[in-house]
């Protein structure tokens, strides 16, 4: 990795931290340059525009999400165990990689849903990816006979996303120490409803 790529990665690390606290639109180039210990223009030349920077931040967040949430879960047994690992990883992943302000993609989803453009498109597709991943995991759990055959995978994914959002709000806004526990309880109740009846 050349010098350019190296500092670019360092910048993106800082950018993730900052955007987790201030949001993707609150992320300013001046402040990011200061935190990164370089000049505004020096930093700017790595991206060419603020929009390009935001897109890079989204890609970086997606990459780390895949690395920290999805990949470890794939090591779990196919079925409910894997789905459960995804949910749990999805709830704690920002703590694990030290993002002090929670998941930037979650905030961005609310920030940009009314701002047409490339950033919105990227945020949308990242959310679709995540829901699709969840749907696949649910389908596998159906295939292995752990979830009922008439389970609606999209519905399950929808509710899991809801649990994650409520958890983030509980943890960060309400400082509720029980939020994570509530989340897992909600998840267990959810899958219990769709458990396959043993024949």
Among 71, 96, 132, 189, binds a second copy (CB under 8 A): 189
**Count of residues of this chain found to bind a second copy when the rule CB under 8 A is applied:** 47
> How far apart are alpha carbons 84 and 144 in whole angstroms?
15
Residue 49 interacting partner from a second copy, DNA, none (CB closer than 5 to 8 Å by kind): DNA
Choose between 123 and 142: whose C-beta lies nearer to DNA.
123
Among 12, 18, 24, 27, binds DNA (CB under 7 A): 27
Q: Is the dihedral of CA 112, 113, 115, 121 positive or negative?
A: positive
Binding mask 5-44 for a second copy (x = CB under 8 A): ---------------xxxx-xx------------------
Rounded to a whole number of angstroms, the minimum distance from the CB of residue 7 to a second copy is: 26
Q: Is the dihedral of CA 179, 68, 119, 8 positive or negative?
A: positive
Among 42, 117, 145, 162, binds DNA (CB under 7 A): 42
- Residue-by-residue DSSP string for the chain: --HHHHHHHHHHHHHHHHHHHH-TTT--HHHHHHHHTS-HHHHHTTTSSHHHHHHHHHHHHHHHHIIIIIHHHHTSPTTHHHHHHHHHHHHHHHHHTT-TT--HHHHHHHHSTTS-SHHHHHHHHHHHHHHHHHHHHHHHHHHTTSB-TT--HHHHHHHHHHHHHHHHIIIIIS--TTHHHHHHHHHHHHHHHTBPPP-
* Distance from the Cα of residue 99 to its chain's centroid: 11
Residue 48 interacting partner from DNA, a second copy, none (CB closer than 5 to 8 Å by kind): DNA
**Count of residues of this chain found to bind DNA when the rule CB under 7 A is applied:** 24
Residue 45 interacting partner from DNA, a second copy, none (CB closer than 5 to 8 Å by kind): DNA
Choose between 15 and 61: whose C-beta lies nearer to DNA.
15
Query: Of 57-65, 83-91, 141-149, 155-163, which part binds a second copy (CB under 8 A)?
Result: 155-163
Binding interface with a second copy (CB under 8 A): 20-23, 25-26, 100-102, 106-107, 109-115, 120, 123-124, 127-128, 131, 154-155, 158-159, 161-170, 172-174, 179, 182, 185-186, 189, 193
């Amino acid at each position: 990795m050349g010098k350019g790529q190296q500092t670019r990665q360092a910048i993106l690390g800082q950018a993730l931290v900052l955007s987790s606290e201030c949001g993707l639109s609150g992320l300013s180039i001046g402040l990011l340059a200061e935190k990164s210990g370089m000049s505004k223009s020096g930093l700017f030349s790595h991206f060419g525009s603020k929009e390009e920077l935001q897109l890079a931040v989204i890609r970086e967040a997606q990459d780390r999400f895949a690395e920290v949430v999805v990949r470890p879960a794939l090591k779990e047994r196919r079925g409910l165990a894997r789905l459960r690992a995804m949910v749990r990883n999805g709830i704690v992943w920002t703590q694990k990689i030290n993002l002090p302000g929670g998941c930037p993609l979650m905030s961005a989803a609310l920030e940009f849903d009314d701002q047409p453009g490339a950033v919105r498109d990227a945020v949308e597709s990242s959310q679709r990816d995540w829901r699709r991943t969840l749907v696949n995991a649910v389908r596998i759990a159906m295939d292995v006979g752990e979830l009922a055959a008439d389970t609606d995978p999209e519905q399950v994914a929808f509710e899991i996303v809801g649990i994650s959002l409520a958890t983030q709000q509980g943890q960060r806004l309400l400082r509720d120490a029980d939020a994570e526990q509530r989340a897992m309880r909600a998840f267990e109740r959810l899958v219990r409803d769709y458990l396959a009846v043993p024949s």
